[in-house]
Structure 1
Amino acid sequence: MQAWRAPAGRGADTGPAADGGPGRGGGMRIGLLGTGPWARAAHAPALGEHPGLDFVGVWGRRPEAAGALAAVHGVRAYEDVDALLADVDAVAVALPPAVQAELAVRAARAGRHLLLDKPLATTVAQGRALVEAVDAAGVASVVFFTTRFQPEPQTWIEEQARVGGWFTGRAQWLGAVFTSEANPFAASPWRREKGALWDVGPHALSVLLPVLGEPRRVTAAAYGPGDTVHLVLDHAGGASSSTTLSLTAPPAAAGAMVELRGVSGVTALPEARGDVVPALGRAADALITAAASGEPHPCDARFAFTVTRILATAETLLHSGTR
């Protein structure tokens, strides 16, 4: 992986903005791809507030939306992706997974570091192509699995991985996206198509896999209301886990939990505190560190590809009716 070094001063820049690009000074120059609710609520504020980033501009599939979001944050609205890539060191992506995978490959081939969202991709082919592009370019990648960048849950995950000896895990990740009034994500075409398996499934796996290891076998069943699905994993370390996922839970029943049982007893994932913007800021910290050190972050594109492969296997089982 190629290392990135923060410039000593803007006047000494030799990067993309040195020839008159729009960088505002200081830190890793980063652009945002995407203008939807998640980009507006999380990405743009996190990039704009981060002291180690120089938020350069926004590109979106709808130019008018890119212009509106860029105006709010005082940055440039780009009409051309390649023009944005020419002005930055890195990109943050807040787009549907299929679009993200395609544009992230393009950004990696241009030598840009990647702050991506989950899921990395919804097909194995797209996920593999992205990992290969990241490896070939030697760029850093961090995928924003929200729970992994919240301090209390992340500390708990690391502690349980050290403890080991787990017999079984149980997770529930229940959203009310399709049952709450005026939820900003309810109209998302990719969520309507892919459902909870792909939207909240990555969150559950991002907690279970670091503790229990990758699965040797995957079982999936679609029992319950709406998009509710159930996964059972046989993990390489010998433990099993069961997970229930849904975006059609009643609002009063929504929430997430993970419980582990093993030789040391019973423990549960602590409730996350704080807004998503600071968590995304910590993901940006991780990208800056990975780019500067050349050391991959645990939530890099390769880990996210493992999650994609598991979910793709589950989806195949669900569609085939195989249990």
Structure 2
Amino acid sequence: MERLLVTGGAGFIGSNFVHHLMEHTDLRVTVLDKLTYAASKESLEGLPEDRVQLVVGDIAEAEVVDPLVAEHDAVVHYAAESHNDNSLHDPSPFIKTNILGTFTILEAVRKHEKRLHHVSTDEVYGDLELDDPKRFTEDTPYNPSSPYSASKAGSDHLVRAWVRSFGVQATVSNCSNNYGPWQHIEKFIPRQITNVIDGIRPKLYGSGENVRDWIHADDHSSAVLTILEKGRIGETYLIGADGEKNNLEVVQLILTLMGQPADAFDHVTDRAGHDLRYAIESGKLRQELGWSPQFQDFESGLADTIEWYQAHEDWWRPHKDAVEATYAEKGQ
């Protein structure tokens, strides 16, 4: 494998993967990205131009996707609409990108007989009770609760159907919540960090008891690369780093790390259909493929993330007022 096509590679998780590839492999990478509001050319700046090429285009358009797939050895499919709140406001882009876009990718890899890895989310499983000792596994039934998670569930089912019906050489991964550099400030952790930088009190949905299983984006990247290289065709692997924290704990830790009182936040209106708890059991990935996370100390990883947003204000600053205005309209 010499040439890799990465869809959504200018977004948060995708761009972190491209950076990871540049550091740990000799691959040449083409990024296919529509460059919507959540992606940016800046996330790929500084990478070697002889190894990374950006193509601006839509994964739902076969005339864009087909020739790119033909000239690459494999595809890693990150591209997706991913913000739950946006899916509640207007589900249509989620259906087009996450379902139709994945269909388009699948037809291209089927035609050209290329390897595919499809990146998905733990949100397809719904949620767990706060006191439930269980975690999500590869055998957990799908139970999506939002247009976003439903569209991702649909895309996962398409991949598995194309493997079974057409022999497509594909794997699937479902990952827990990512944090790290280049994440759009509409998302939970960067929103709170940039609020504190601006002297604005962080905003906490409801009581803050909702639990997420946090993983650093670089650990997600190393897991995806491991699956691409070693994963068994047709298999699904769950990616997690044992990082369960409730939202209250995360906000308090951000405040503490940034030198503020741990109670200097405001409770705001909870999000509609807000899932209670996500928790990943990644034993299959660790035992079968030998993967393990490097950022096992959430506090240290969060401190590095805070420093990144402090140092890259020129990147997020132009979007801050609009993001806060949108949340303010919803009482959040």
TM over 0.5: same fold? no
Q: Identify the structure with the greater strand proportion.
A: 1
Superposition TM-score, scaled by structure 2 size = 0.40
Superposition TM-score, scaled by structure 1 size = 0.41
